[in-house]
Amino acid sequence: MRVTVADRLNDIRSRVQAASKRAALASPVTLIAVSKTQPASAVREAYAAGQRDFGENYVQELVAKAKELSDLPDLRWHFIGHLQRNKVKDVLPIASLVQAVDRIELAQEINKRASKRVPVLIEVNLAGEEQKAGAAIAALPELIEAIRALPLLELRGLMAVPPASEDPELTRPYFQQLRELARANEGASHLELSMGMSSDFEVAVEEGASIVRVGSSIFGSRVR
């Protein structure tokens, strides 16, 4: 029998719930189904199984899929990829959360183009990996201050993509580090933690993730 998207979603949901119980988390974890490179039909299938939050990495793909799926009410798109300033205007009308703000110029461009408040997360480059996006840990206080000063940005939390590893336990210290960074910078509001992907979302939830971003475990391996 074919394993469906709905089957996989149910499996992920119950594993998220079990991890959340182990960690005695007070609030529910938001599962984002990362649909990059997957056809709109796969998103429809997940939507039919009750999934509402979807993540996309590429602007063109997001715009096309959002258009194709505009008949689905209350579907929420999260932009989780690297965002260039000249693409901000395309993403804002679609994304309910811009997850990977990592520099002041990008935050300023969002503020300039926005017509209403835009919830954002700051992406942190925890291991200082050169090839990866994300703000350096040392640059975080200044970026947080800059975002909080922009009237149309609403800082909701932090996100990270730690170095890939075969063993999710090796990723655990990075999740702990992101949690500590959020705690140190909470200010007035509790910050969300977007961390954990197919290979390590359970460990991320154990360490306090409020948002997990899961792609291949829901949709199967990517098309390209």
Ligand X SMILES: *Cc1c(COP(=O)(O)O)cnc(C)c1O
Q: Burial code of 92-123, b = ≥16 C-beta within 10 A, e = fewer?
A: bebbebbbbbbbbebbbbbbebbeeebbbbbb
Q: Does 80 bind ligand X (CB under 6 A)?
A: yes
CB of 71 to ligand X, least distance (A): 25
CB 44 within 8 A of CB 69: yes
Q: Identify which of residues 128 and 220 has a Cβ nearer to ligand X in the complex.
A: 220
Place of tokens 């056809």: 39
Stretch that binds ligand X, among 22-30, 39-47, 143-151, 193-201 (CB under 6 A): 193-201
- Least CB distance from residue 118 to ligand X, whole Å? 18
Cβ–Cβ under 8 Å, residues 118 and 79:
no
Give whichever of 100 and 147 is closer to ligand X, judged by the CB atom.
100
Asked if residue 82 lies in contact with residue 63, where contact means CB atoms within 8 angstroms, the answer is: no
Position closest to ligand X via CB = 215
| Contact between 37 and ligand X per CB under 6 A | no
The DSSP 8-state label assigned to residue 39 in this structure reads -
- Phi, psi of 192, rounded to the nearest 5 degrees: -70, 155
Q: Which of 46, 122, 197, 204 binds ligand X (CB under 6 A)?
A: 197
Candidates 84-92, 113-121, 183-191, 196-204 — which segment interacts with ligand X by CB under 6 A? 196-204
Binding-residue pattern over the window 39 to 78 for ligand X, x denoting contact by CB under 6 A: ------------------x---------------------
